[in-house]
Amino acid sequence: MQDRFLKSIAKLPETLATAIVPLLDQDFAGHIDAQQLAELQKQTGMELDELLLALLPIAAALARPPISEFYVGAIAKGKSGDIYMGANIELPGEALFHSVHAEQSAISHAWLSGESVIEDIIVNASPCGHCRQFINELVEGSKVNIHLPDQATAPLSHYLPYAFGPSDLNITAPLLSKQLHTLTLDSNDPMIIEALDHASLSYAPYTKNYAAVVLETKDGATYCGRYAENAAFNPSMQPMQMALSTMARHNRDFSEINRAVLIESSKGVVSLVGAAMDALHSVAVVELEHIVVEPE
């Protein structure tokens, strides 16, 4: 089991602790599939909602909050029945807006894993206004059920009444709906090809700046992030932040980054290069490779 879970295991009911330990091997990065979840329910005798709340200390253990020391854990449950954990990250020495909230981490985890609908979000602290707005960008966002310890479960529409969202800007295919932008580039560099694939799946209806980041560690492992815009602009999730939160879920140190690539579309009305460099350079000494591609 990974050391980062030692303290959270002690907070779990004993049957759950026993059942979950075998899943928390070196590769565990916060994904539990529907079958494993059913097995956990069988072994603990817990109802699903109860089990998901009980798992929050495990999600919170994925956090990297060097500024606040406040560990937030979230779980996004997809329509497939799989669950995706996420946790907050804060970048030391950088402006606070570079932070990633636990809910964003869990949602981006589900999105990167191919989920097309998120039905439930379980979180250990009340979701802030920025997260409520981020959730509202999702397909059927107003219907996402929010589960909190000691609160009755309620849909996002209860937490965010009179919402402003994608439909106010005439966007009909919101976040998690299939995006497939044609971006082409002649390269046989696997890392660049990976970044290009993710950029073509990115969500940038407001700027058309289809973009993605791939980070590589010295052992050749790669971690990616896609750009996920928001109708209210500021809560948009930057691809660098998404890639860093992917790394954090995988328990990798940011100082292990060996290579970093940002791909963006030449037709975007903004560029993320400055923001991406600021975030990257707060955690690693590595140049950002910036590649601009032509959409078809």
Ligand X SMILES: O=c1ccn([C@H]2C[C@H](O)[C@@H](CO)O2)c(=O)[nH]1
Site for Zn ion in 57-96 (CB under 5 A): none
Q: How far is the CB of 74 from ligand X (least distance, A)?
A: 7
Q: Which spans of this chain sit near ligand X (rule: CB under 6 A)?
A: 65, 68, 70, 72, 88, 90, 99, 101-103, 125, 127-128, 131
- What is the smallest separation between the CB atom of 245 and ligand X, expressed in angstroms? 10
Q: Is 128 in the site for Zn ion (CB under 5 A)?
A: yes
89 annotated to bind ligand: yes
Cα 56 from Cα 61, distance rounded (Å): 9
* Coil vs helix vs strand at 205: coil
| Cβ at position 72, least distance to Zn ion in Å | 8
Contacts of 29 (CB under 8 A, 6+ apart): 62, 249, 250, 251
Q: Which is nearer to Zn ion, 106 or 243 (CB)?
A: 106
39, 103, 119, 140: the catalytic one is 103
CB atoms within 10 A of CB 109: 27
Q: Smallest distance from the beta carbon of 70 to ligand X, in angstroms? A: 5
Q: Are 184 and 296 in contact (CB under 8 A)?
A: yes
Strands (E), the chain: 31-32, 73-78, 83-87, 118-123, 145-147, 154-155, 183-184, 211-217, 222-226, 257-265, 288-295
- Out of Zn ion, ligand X, none, which partner does residue 295 contact, by CB within 5 to 8 A per kind? none
**One-letter amino acid identity for 273?**
V
Residue placing its CB nearer to Zn ion in the complex, 130 or 290: 130
Q: Is 224 annotated as a binding residue?
A: no
Q: Is 128 annotated as a binding residue?
A: yes
**Residue 200 interacting partner from Zn ion, ligand X, none (CB closer than 5 to 8 Å by kind):** none
Say whether residue 101 binds Zn ion (CB under 5 A). Answer: yes
CA-based nearest residue to 89, from 295, 282, 291, 286: 282
Our answer to whether residue 103 is catalytic in this structure is yes
Asked if 160 is part of the footprint of Zn ion (rule: CB under 5 A), the reply reads no
Tell me which H or E stretch contains 18: helix 14-20
Catalytic residues: 103
Interface residues toward Zn ion, by CB under 5 A = 101, 128, 130-131
List, as residue ranges, the binding site for substrate.
88-90
